[in-house]
Structures are given as structure tokens and as C-alpha cells.
Amino acid sequence: MKYIIYYNKYLNSKIIAKKIIELLNSKNWHLVTEDADLIISIGGDGTFLRTFQTYFKNNSKAVFLPINSGKIGFFSYCSEKTALEEVEKITNSNEIFFNEQILLQVKYNSFINYSLNEVRIIDNGATINGDIMINKNLLEHFRGSGLAFSTPIGSTGYSKSINGAIILNGLPVYQMVEVAPVSNNEHRTLNSPLILSDNSVTTFKPDFISNINVVVDGVLMPWELNHKFDNKGIFEIKITDKKLKIISNLNEKQNLYLKNKLILNKIKGEQND
């Protein structure tokens, strides 16, 4: 069996990583850089999202195991105290048990990326103008700072901060939320979250595209990719057939998060790295 391990800069994460590498090596597992069976992330939620963005595209069949080494890990199934025990269980089993998680696909010409949380098409310095279409049917001509698309598991993040809906994990849907839409006597937009099914393809054709940035799971897509954008292109957003295979209990985690953080405000001092 082959594995990849990715961890953040903190000392306790490095210590955990070293112990896991020693354990897996003793079980004749092989540390690789691609084509892995298991991908382990050690850190907070930010580390796991970077792990996903770094490795999923070329390792979509791998199972991801997020290990929380910080104060809170929304995606993490196990803590640093139970990490070795969880890895030991995996190595002693003939099959790795996992859950599947919905992902978004963003496409522009030949550029394709996948998102676990959200995709933002945004310009912080100017107004974006363009047509939004759902399954090739015109919805509206949008004017505003941008658009945000989120999965159910990502709905409690950025999209919520701009008045998006909270979607319970497991539903085969995604949402589109307008970012600072123009609303005056001359022009009005939808100005409301739009929930879309897994067979809905959203396309956005900007009138002018040179200053637009694409942010996927909080990561700005590299500038050199943005140079491929032209004024004839169309952004396409949809739920992809690919699923993230993850060892986690995200349904339970989301319910606890909603109760403790958003309602009771019990969770403090988060560490996202």
C-alpha cells in the first residue's frame, strides 16, 4: 500500500507525522508523492484544505484521513491522541472504510479544479457584469463584486458570511450566492441564495474578465492561470461525479458545529492551520 503525508509547520504536527511514518514503514507501506491509496493530513482545517487542493486532482481514488493537531478540526475524524490508533486500524484491515463527500467542479476552457468548500469568482476592485445561466437558460444579467458557490459542508463558511443558506451535509445540492450585488432603480439582481440540484450546471459569462480572480477553498488560483482568461470564455460550475473519499464523521461534526458555534457560541480559540 502507498501513502502520502502532509502536515503543517507546528512541532506537534511534525512529531505526529514522524510517528505515523515509522508505523506505516513497519507495516511495509510506501511513502510516495502520487498515486497513493491513503493521504494523511495533520493540522487544522486549513491544512486539510491545502492537502485536498494539492493532491486530490491527481489522486482522486485515494482515501483522505484528516488528523487534528490543533484546537479544533471540523474535518478531522481523530485527534493527535487517537491518530496512531486510527492508522493502526487501517493497516490491520483488508479494506479502508470511508464516507463520500460532494465536490464542486469549476471549469474555464481547459482549466479545471475541484472544491470541497466553495468557489469564488470575484473582483474586489471593480464591478463584474455578465450573464448567469442555469442549464443553458438565462437566469439574470448580474452586476456586483462576484459570485460564491458552496457545497453543503462549505455552507457554514464564507457563503454564510454573505447571507447564504446553511445546507445540511449529505444533500445532493449546491448554492450560488451573489457578492455585493448592485441594487438600484436601474438594475436589480436576484439578491438571494439560490439552491441548485446535482444535475444543475451554472455558467457565468462575464462581459469583461481581465481583473477577475478565482478562489477555490480559500486559495487564489495562480496568476499565470488567470492569464489564460479571455473575454470569450465562460465559467462552468457543477457538482462533479467525483467524490472525496474521507475517513470522517462530517454529518455529526456539522450538527455539533451548528449548535456549539453558531447558536451557543461555545467554541473559542479556533486554529485553522
**170 and 86 co-located in one domain:** no
pLDDT of the residue at 264: 61
Strands, E, within 109-259: which ranges? Answer: 111-115, 118-122, 128-134, 137-150, 173-181, 194-197, 202-206, 213-216, 219-220, 235-239, 244-246
Judge whether 47 and 41 are in contact, CB under 8 Å. Answer: yes
pLDDT of the residue at 232: 64
Tally of domains within the chain: 2
Q: Is residue 271 included in any domain, yes or no?
A: no
**19 and 110 co-located in one domain:** no
**118 and 91 co-located in one domain:** no
CATH number of the CATH domain containing 48: 3.40.50.10330
Q: Is residue 25 included in any domain, yes or no?
A: yes
Query: Does the CA dihedral 158-162-167-171 come out positive or negative?
Result: negative
**198 and 111 co-located in one domain:** yes
- Report the predicted TM-score, pTM, of the whole model to 2 decimal places: 0.88
Instruction: Give the chain's mean pLDDT.
Output: 87
- The residue segments making up the domain with residue 95 are 2-101+243-263
Q: Among residues of the chain, what percentage have pLDDT more than 90?
A: 60
pLDDT of the residue at 97: 85
pLDDT (tens digit, 9 = 90+) per residue, 155-172?
Answer: 988 999 999 999 988 899
**140 and 39 co-located in one domain:** no
Q: Is residue 272 included in any domain, yes or no?
A: no
pLDDT (tens digit, 9 = 90+) per residue, 67-126?
Answer: 998 766 778 778 888 899 999 999 998 788 898 999 999 998 778 999 999 999 998 788
User: Using only C-alpha atoms, what is the Rg of the chain?
Assistant: 20
pLDDT (tens digit, 9 = 90+) per residue, 202-250?
Answer: 999 988 776 788 999 988 877 555 555 555 678 999 999 999 999 987 7
